[in-house]
Amino acid sequence: MKRRQFGLPFLKFFTCYHKFPLALTVLLVASAPLLKPQERNKYQVLTNLQIREMLNTLESDIKEHYYDPKMHGLDLDERFERARQKVLAAKSQNEALLYVVAAAAALNDSHTHFFPPAAPYGVDYGWLMQAVGDSDCYVTEVRPNSDAAKKGIKPGDRVVSINGIALTRQNLNYVEYGYRVFPQSGLHVVMRSPDANERSLVPMAEVIPGQQLIRHSDMMTWQRNHGHDVSKDRSRYHAEGTVLFWKLPDFLIEPADLEPLVNKTLRFATVVLDLRGNPGGQVSALTTLVSGFFTHDVQIGIRETRKGSEKRVAKTRGEKAFAGALIVLIDSRSSSAAEIFARLVQLEKRGVVLGDRSSGAVMESQFFPHTVEVSPTAVATYGDTITVAALKMSDGNSLENVGVLPDERILPTNADIAQGGDPVMARAAELAGLKMTVQEASKIFPFEWPKEKMPEID
């Protein structure tokens, strides 16, 4: 199944609707995973030749589907030939897979990635972080009773470095991508507390074991039982008087299922649409949301592919569209469809956008699943996402690597993060005619750890 989607960079999918554990939130491919040698050997089921086959398939997908046939001037043949030599000479499975990941990264494209086979084990790092502002990254959540909590990591701590890599907003996504793909059992981190005290720590992750070898039938069962249910309403709501607060977690929802959600807004005077942390999703879902919040047809942008350019327009629902006041919230994790919607609100002067600058990861990608046989009865499932189109907004500009700058940029302080305050939501409430403290505002959509740390294979 191939489904067009805006973005979802950095491993939001393995197959089209196969979500990865939300707890896998940290770090860059700087070294091999920190598992013990016997544990690494236990899971090494791919040969260098099989991994070279994956590399060749990735190259073919890029050449066939990448939106820019000139590859931005990159000599793709030379780049992949060097990667092939490195793969064949690699001394471990993970080393060889890293060369494949690096070959895809050579395009410097936020949505073209290689996704190696899922490891039959996972880790829960026990803490989450996020970029705030233009440079720094902060711990936002720490799971109770985790090793990170026991070693003193707290919300509001600034993450200075991880495994010797200085952490910034600019490299955070690559760091997270790496350690989601290659889980680590321990991380060497340097934290700076709000009082400017720096300390070095090694918080250990909780290793969640699984099967030593995943059969093809196991993967199909997992997808049926744990796959992403796009028909389920995963939004969160809070109504107060004539104001509706709506947290839309992503755009992984069918248009027909999104329309009833838009209908819920019609009896309110103001809607606060919270797109913070929203990674994007289906193009069709974005079009449906735009149709539901604009009383006129809206040009989403110019879609540029290797075959040419075309306008993308969202037709209004007319009288069935929400015509009241609109306040949109975004942050550094608002990507693709989420930031496109926020920018449309600005360009069309439809409402106000609050929060932090969005991620600037706006392309249209497609996932291509593949398998490689590892034994007569087992296959390894892997894949890649390839950017098939770029988008320019109606003002002629691209949001890629730029993001959306809110009308009011509101950044939480160390104290806000440490105490769980939400100044962005508090300001949104104020604009909607409600009075809330930052602590009261944080209770509208409090953070919730996922119930399952890792989907089980039945």
Over residues 32-55, the pLDDT tens digits come to: 344 344 443 344 468 999 999 999
The angle at the Cα of 386, spanning 385 to 388, to the nearest 5 degrees, equals 135
Residue 179 banded pLDDT, cuts 50, 70, 90: confident
Residue 192 has pLDDT above 60, yes or no: yes
Pick from 155-159, 178-182, 370-374: least confident: 178-182
Mean pLDDT over residues 98-124, rounded?
A: 88
Over residues 374-394, the pLDDT tens digits come to: 877 778 889 999 999 999 999
- What pLDDT score was predicted for residue 123? 83
- What pLDDT score was predicted for residue 176? 84
Residue 17 banded pLDDT, cuts 50, 70, 90: very low
For the chain, residues classed under CATH 2.30.42.10 are 122-207
Residue 292 has pLDDT above 80, yes or no: yes
Q: How far apart are CA 349 and CA 343, in angstroms?
A: 10
Residue 266 has pLDDT above 90, yes or no: yes
- What pLDDT score was predicted for residue 453? 54
CA atoms within 13 A on the CB side of 243: 17
Over residues 305-353, the pLDDT tens digits come to: 999 999 999 999 999 999 999 999 999 999 999 999 999 999 999 999 9
Query: 132 or 27, which is more confident?
Result: 132
Between strands 363-375 and 408-409, the pairing is unpaired
Over residues 395-426, the pLDDT tens digits come to: 999 999 999 999 999 999 989 999 999 999 99
Q: Would you state the CATH architecture of domain 122-207?
A: Roll (2.30)
Helix (H, G, I), strand (E, B) or coil at 343: helix
- What pLDDT score was predicted for residue 210? 59
Residue 83 banded pLDDT, cuts 50, 70, 90: very high
- What is the share, in percent, of the chain residues with pLDDT greater than 70? 83
- What pLDDT score was predicted for residue 452? 57
Over residues 114-150, the pLDDT tens digits come to: 999 877 677 889 999 999 999 899 999 999 999 999 9
Pick from 11-15, 136-140, 144-148, 193-197: least confident: 11-15
The angle at the Cα of 1, spanning 368 to 118, to the nearest 5 degrees, equals 55
Pick from 118-132, 219-233, 418-432, 443-457: least confident: 219-233
Residue 21 banded pLDDT, cuts 50, 70, 90: very low
Residue 449 banded pLDDT, cuts 50, 70, 90: confident
CATH of domain 236-363+391-442: 3.90.226.10
Burial label, 40 (beta-carbon count in 10 A; 0-12, 13-18, 19+): middle
Asked if residue 330 lies in contact with residue 276, where contact means CB atoms within 8 angstroms, the answer is: yes
Torsions phi, psi for 344 (to 5 deg):
-60, -40
Residue 76 has pLDDT above 50, yes or no: yes
Q: Which residues of 180-204 are buried (b: 16+ CB within 10 A; e: fewer)?
A: bbbbbbbbbbbbbbeeeeeeebebb
Rounded mean pLDDT of the chain? 85
Pick from 76-80, 99-103, 175-179: least confident: 175-179
For the chain, residues classed under CATH 3.90.226.10 are 236-363+391-442
- What pLDDT score was predicted for residue 225? 44
Mean pLDDT over residues 432-451, rounded?
A: 93
pTM of the predicted model as reported, rounded to 2 decimal places: 0.84
Q: How far apart are CA 365 and CA 385, in angstroms?
A: 6
Mean pLDDT over residues 101-109, rounded?
A: 92
- What is the share, in percent, of the chain residues with pLDDT greater than 90? 70
User: Rounded to whole angstroms, what are the CA distances from 171 to 27, 161, 165?
Assistant: 9, 11, 9
- What pLDDT score was predicted for residue 265? 97
- Report the amino acid identity of residue 370: H
Q: How far apart are CA 99 and CA 350, in angstroms?
A: 46
Residue 153 has pLDDT above 90, yes or no: yes
Query: 66 or 211, which is more confident?
Result: 66
Residue 451 banded pLDDT, cuts 50, 70, 90: low
- What pLDDT score was predicted for residue 373? 85
